[in-house]
C-alpha cells in the first residue's frame, strides 16, 4: 500500500445553501408513538449475530483456488490518499480522495458493525476497520437504518427487498448501477455479484453528471427525506476495471469546509476520471480511514456510528 497527501487551492463560483442534516432525526412523541420510534430507530434488532461465521459457510464467490489467487493479488492492491482544498472563506471545501487500484475485485470487502447483521446496529467506522485489519475504509450505505434494499456483501445475500437504484460490484471487476426492482438478490448472485450498495443516487453515468440529482429523495421514511444542499458527502467512482476512487467531503464547518451539493460532488468525481459514480451515506457518517486513523474531519466533531463499511485489508 502507498499513500500521499497533497493540497490544491482553486477558487470556484458556488452558491452556499443552508445545510439540511442527513442524520437520522427521530421525533419522540408521547405514549405509543414514542415506543414505536424507539423500537424502529434506536433498539438493535440482530438478525445474524456472527457474520464472519455466516459468511464462511455461505460465500459462493470463489472456490479455494480462487481464494488463494485473490489472497496473492491482495499484495498488489494500491491505495493513495490525497487532500484537496478549494474555494475561500465561507465557500471553502475540503475533501479527501482515495485512489484504489485493486489486485483483485474481491479485495474490496464490506464489514458490518459489531460483526452483526440487522437494524440499528452501529459502530464507529474506525472500530469496524480496525476489527477487520483494514488499511483503508469508508462508511457504507447505512443499510441498518432501513429494512429495504438488496444487500449482498462479500458474495453472501443478507436482504432481498428491492426498493431503489443500487450499485453492484461483481467478482470479475464489473461495477454497474442497476434498478433493484428489476432483479433479485438471487439473480445478482448467480451473475457473480460480490457487493451491493443501496443508497444512491447514481451521480455519474457514462462519464457525465446525471441530471436532476439535486432533487432526489433516497428514502421517504421518517426523518430522512432530504439529501439536498451543501452537505458532507461520501461517494465511490469507477475509473477503470479494478480502479476505483473514493471521495469524502467534509462539511458544516465554516471556514474549513461547507460541504457540497450532489451535482458538485459529481463534478469532483468526473474531474477525477470516474465514468460511473454513486452516492453513499453522508452527513455525520462521512468518514475516511487510512493507515490506522481517520483522515477527514467528520461534521459531528468526531465519528458517528454507522452500520457498515467498505474496506481494503492491510
What does pTM read for this prediction?
0.86
State the burial class of residue 11 (Cβ atoms within 10 Å of its Cβ: 0-12, 13-18, 19+).
exposed
For residue 11, tell me if it sits in a domain.
Answer: no
For residue 282, tell me if it sits in a domain.
Answer: yes
Q: Omega of the bond prior to 29 within 30 degrees of 0, cis?
A: no
- pLDDT tens, position by position, 279-311: 999 999 999 999 999 999 999 999 999 999 999
Which structural domain range is residue 108 located in? 32-313
For residue 15, tell me if it sits in a domain.
Answer: no
For residue 10, tell me if it sits in a domain.
Answer: no
What is the longest distance spanned by two Cα atoms in the chain?
58
For residue 88, tell me if it sits in a domain.
Answer: yes
b/e 221-236 (16+ beta carbons within 10 angstroms → b)? eebbeebbbbbbbbbb
For residue 6, tell me if it sits in a domain.
Answer: no
The neighbour count for residue 217, using CB atoms within 10 Å, is: 12
For residue 23, tell me if it sits in a domain.
Answer: no
Domains in the chain: how many in total? 1
- pLDDT tens, position by position, 132-182: 999 999 999 999 999 999 999 999 999 999 999 999 999 999 999 999 999
For residue 302, tell me if it sits in a domain.
Answer: yes
Predicted pLDDT at 41:
75
- pLDDT tens, position by position, 39-55: 877 899 999 999 999 99
- pLDDT tens, position by position, 80-118: 999 999 999 999 999 999 999 999 999 999 999 999 999
Amino acid at each position: 500500500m502507498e499513500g500521499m497527501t497533497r493540497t490544491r487551492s482553486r477558487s470556484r463560483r458556488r452558491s452556499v445553501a443552508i445545510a439540511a442534516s442527513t442524520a437520522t432525526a427521530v421525533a419522540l412523541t408521547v405514549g405509543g408513538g414514542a415506543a414505536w420510534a424507539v423500537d424502529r430507530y434506536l433498539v438493535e434488532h440482530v438478525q445474524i449475530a456472527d457474520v464472519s461465521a455466516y459468511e464462511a459457510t455461505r460465500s459462493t464467490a470463489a472456490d479455494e483456488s480462487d481464494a488463494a489467487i485473490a489472497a496473492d493479488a491482495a499484495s498488489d492492491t494500491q491505495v493513495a490518499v490525497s487532500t484537496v482544498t478549494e474555494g475561500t472563506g465561507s465557500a471553502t471545501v475540503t475533501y479527501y480522495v482515495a485512489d484504489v487500484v485493486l489486485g483483485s475485485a474481491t479485495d474490496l470487502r464490506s464489514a458490518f458493525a459489531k460483526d452483526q447483521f440487522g437494524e440499528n446496529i452501529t459502530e464507529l467506522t474506525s472500530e469496524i476497520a480496525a476489527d477487520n485489519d483494514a488499511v483503508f475504509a469508508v462508511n457504507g450505505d447505512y443499510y441498518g437504518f432501513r429494512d429495504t434494499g438488496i444487500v449482498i456483501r462479500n458474495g453472501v445475500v443478507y436482504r432481498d427487498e428491492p426498493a431503489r437504484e443500487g450499485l453492484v460490484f461483481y467478482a470479475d471487476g464489473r461495477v454497474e448501477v442497476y434498478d433493484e426492482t428489476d432483479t433479485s438478490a438471487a439473480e445478482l448472485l448467480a451473475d457473480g455479484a460480490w457487493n451491493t450498495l443501496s443508497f444512491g443516487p447514481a451521480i455519474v453515468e457514462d462519464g457525465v453528471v446525471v441530471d436532476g440529482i439535486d432533487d432526489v429523495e433516497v428514502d421517504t421514511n421518517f426523518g430522512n427525506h432530504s439529501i439536498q444542499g451543501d452537505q458532507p458527502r461520501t461517494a465511490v467512482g469507477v475509473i477503470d476495471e479494478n480502479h476505483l476512487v473514493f471521495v469524502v467531503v467534509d462539511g458544516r464547518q465554516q471556514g474549513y469546509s461547507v460541504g457540497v451539493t450532489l451535482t458538485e460532488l459529481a463534478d469532483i468525481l468526473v474531474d477525477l476520471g470516474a465514468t460511473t459514480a454513486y452516492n453513499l451515506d453522508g452527513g455525520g457518517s462521512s468518514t475516511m480511514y487510512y493507515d490506522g486513523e481517520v483522515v477527514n474531519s467528520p461534521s459531528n466533531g468526531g465519528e458517528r456510528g454507522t452500520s457498515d463499511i467498505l474496506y481494503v485489508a492491510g
